[in-house]
Amino acid sequence: MASTLCLSPPVSATPDYATFTTQNESQPTAEDSFGIGSLKICKNMNELKQLHCHLTKKGLNHNPSAMAKLITACVEMGIPESLTYARKAFELFKEDEATTGTAFMYNSFIRGYSCSKLIEEAIFLYIEMVAQGVTPDHYTFPFVLSACTKIAAFREGIQVHGVVFKMGLQEDVFIENSLIHFYSECGEIACGRKVFDGMPKRNVVSWTSLICGYARRDCPKEALSLFFEMVAVGIKPNSVTMVCVISACAKLQDLAMGERVCAYISNSGLKLNAVMLNALVDMYMKCGAIDTAKRLFDECTDRNLVLYNSILSNYVRQGLAREALGILDANVA
């Protein structure tokens, strides 16, 4: 069941009093005289704190550009300690300057939290952003939707979708792709399809997000149908697409379809990577083509744990315990 956060107030629309802050306006500008470009090279917290101290001594802790660069550096470090440090510096900046911060600063935080284990904080910061009158932009929504997706915060994602619509950003391809992924991962594949069907322009991510949503939600026939439609309109799939398509073939246990997909991979020149190989071995095993699966396994020179688990579990599932033990004996010795 999709989880929800108890967020208050609900985000139903962008506040009327908010002044639009564009990405260009909120993005830090290059000011060489400040010497703040070196923030990019901070590799640990000690270096970050030392440089922040240096900026403070030069009076740059009140400079929006310097603060934005500091936040970005902390986010790029990507650890809870750096995010907490940036948050404290940000709160002090807002208090000292009696300001709300910029969209760029909030976007940086939301991105950082959504990529960390502090995912709920990304959503709370989005709520704060809107409540403070800082208008989200087209960079904000993919980040906050990513956070909603990761914790299946369906109610909050629906509210975000409403704001996207009211701001007239529903035709932004990056936002629409994020919405498709969000709905698919939350089990609302019909909503994802509705977003997809309404897109004036789609890219490979659009198609892949819905194909993978179908494949993961036990709709393998729909996944395969959409894949062949994708190829027919001239969109070249990537490795992520193919893994989901191969998985759909495995769920159907349709060897003929699996062979057709493999032929497409060979003819398209798409490079076979480890994840695709794992999926192919699993597909052939589930379709009963055990010799083909074993051949692919034997030809692989860089086997990983997933590949071993795939062939071993399928051997056991089909009652071929002796063959499974043979794999273990050959690779443990």
Supply the DSSP string of 166-219, one letter for each residue.
HTT-TT-HHHHHHHHHHHHHTT-HHHHHHHHHT-SS--HHHHHHHHHHHHHTT-
pLDDT for the residue numbered 94: 86
pLDDT for the residue numbered 101: 84
CA 151 to chain centre: 12
pLDDT for the residue numbered 150: 95
Q: From CA 194, how far away is CA 165, in angstroms rounded? A: 14
Q: Give ∠ CA 324-308-329 in degrees, rounded to 5.
A: 45
CB count in 10 Å sphere of residue 211: 28
Tracing tokens 């300001």 back to the chain, one arrives at 99
pLDDT for the residue numbered 41: 66
CB count in 10 Å sphere of residue 10: 12
Left (φ > 0), alpha (ψ -120 to 50) or beta: where does 135 sit?
beta
Q: From CA 27, how far away is CA 80, in angstroms rounded? A: 24
SS3 content of the chain, % helix, strand, coil (to 5): 70, 0, 30
Would you state the structure tokens that stand for residue 238, as one six-digit string?
Answer: 């990537």
| Identity of residue 277 | L
pLDDT for the residue numbered 105: 93
Alpha-carbon torsion angle 292, 295, 299, 302, nearest 10: 80
Q: From CA 98, how far away is CA 13, in angstroms rounded? A: 25
pLDDT for the residue numbered 315: 87
Q: The whole model's pTM is what?
A: 0.82
Q: From CA 220, how far away is CA 212, in angstroms rounded? A: 9
pLDDT for the residue numbered 329: 76
Instruction: Give the domains, in start order, of the chain with CATH numbers.
Output: 236-333 (1.25.40.10)
pLDDT for the residue numbered 179: 98
Q: CB of 127 within 8 A of CB of 155?
A: no
Helices (H), 22-139: 23-26, 45-57, 64-77, 80-97, 103-114, 119-131
Residues forming a β-bridge with 58: none
Taking only the tens of pLDDT, the chain with its 333 residues reads: 444 444 433 443 333 333 333 343 344 443 444 445 555 567 888 988 888 888 888 888 788 888 888 888 888 888 889 999 999 989 988 887 777 788 999 999 999 999 988 899 999 999 999 999 999 999 999 999 999 999 999 999 999 999 999 999 999 999 999 999 999 999 999 999 999 999 999 999 999 999 999 999 989 999 999 999 999 999 999 999 999 999 999 999 999 999 999 999 999 989 889 999 999 999 999 999 999 999 999 888 888 899 988 899 888 888 888 888 888 777 765
Question: Which DSSP state fits 134?
Answer: B
Q: From CA 20, how far away is CA 162, in angstroms rounded? A: 18
Q: From CA 123, how far away is CA 129, in angstroms rounded? A: 10
